[in-house]
Amino acid sequence: MTGQTSDQKEVPQERVALPSGQEALELPEGGGVMIVGEKRDEIGAVVEGTEVTPESAVPAVIVKPEDPQLIKRLEAKLAEYKKRKEQGKSFAPYAAPETPYAIYVKDTALKIAVLEAVLTKGRCVTGDLAMELQKEHEGAYSPELFANACKVINAYAEGKTVRGGTGLPEV
């Protein structure tokens, strides 16, 4: 199976079965995996014909950088996420699960989980963490938000900027 990148080159992709029973496309050379059929529109409907590219794939492993300055910035970002989550706790119990605020709190919690794994273990195997979080949070787990958290933290670990958000703090 092949997919098309934004410049229309064919990218070989292999279908793999995840331990959760979901099917995913694995991109070559550490490009990551993308769960088949998990891309959804703003009302939650599965989007047909999802294109998988290295930019849209969830990284299979997120590695802690070696640069001490970047590590300090990631630690500061983790502190920012934790503060954001604490501030949100007072409102979260009253927010309906589908509200933007409740989604924002879940998104923050997932970014904390991914970033803590990277900083404490030296790397985050995203498939393993996804399974752990699915068990831990049962009905509250969101594959879409987890995929976003992985992509954001991976970009930060590589010293890149992301669209939106507050970015990596300067330290």
Q: What is the pLDDT of residues 24-54, one digit of tens each?
A: 555 445 545 444 444 444 444 444 444 445 5
CA proximity to 127, closest of 42, 55, 62: 62
Nearest 5°: phi and psi at 155?
-60, -45
pLDDT at 169 over 90: yes
- Confidence at 8, pLDDT banded by 50, 70, 90: very low
Contact assessment for residue 129 and residue 114, using Cβ atoms and an 8 Å cutoff: yes
DSSP state of 32: E
Q: What are the residues facing 94 on neighbouring strands?
A: none
Q: What are the residues facing 16 on neighbouring strands?
A: 24
Domain ranges of the chain: 1-57, 62-157
User: Cα separation of 60 and 3, whole Å?
Assistant: 18
- Confidence at 67, pLDDT banded by 50, 70, 90: very high
Contact assessment for residue 71 and residue 65, using Cβ atoms and an 8 Å cutoff: yes
- Confidence at 144, pLDDT banded by 50, 70, 90: confident
- Taking all residues of the chain, what is their mean pLDDT, rounded to a whole number? 73
pLDDT at 111 over 60: yes
Contact assessment for residue 153 and residue 111, using Cβ atoms and an 8 Å cutoff: yes
Q: What separation in angstroms does the CA of 78 have from each of 36, 38, 58, 161?
A: 30, 27, 20, 16
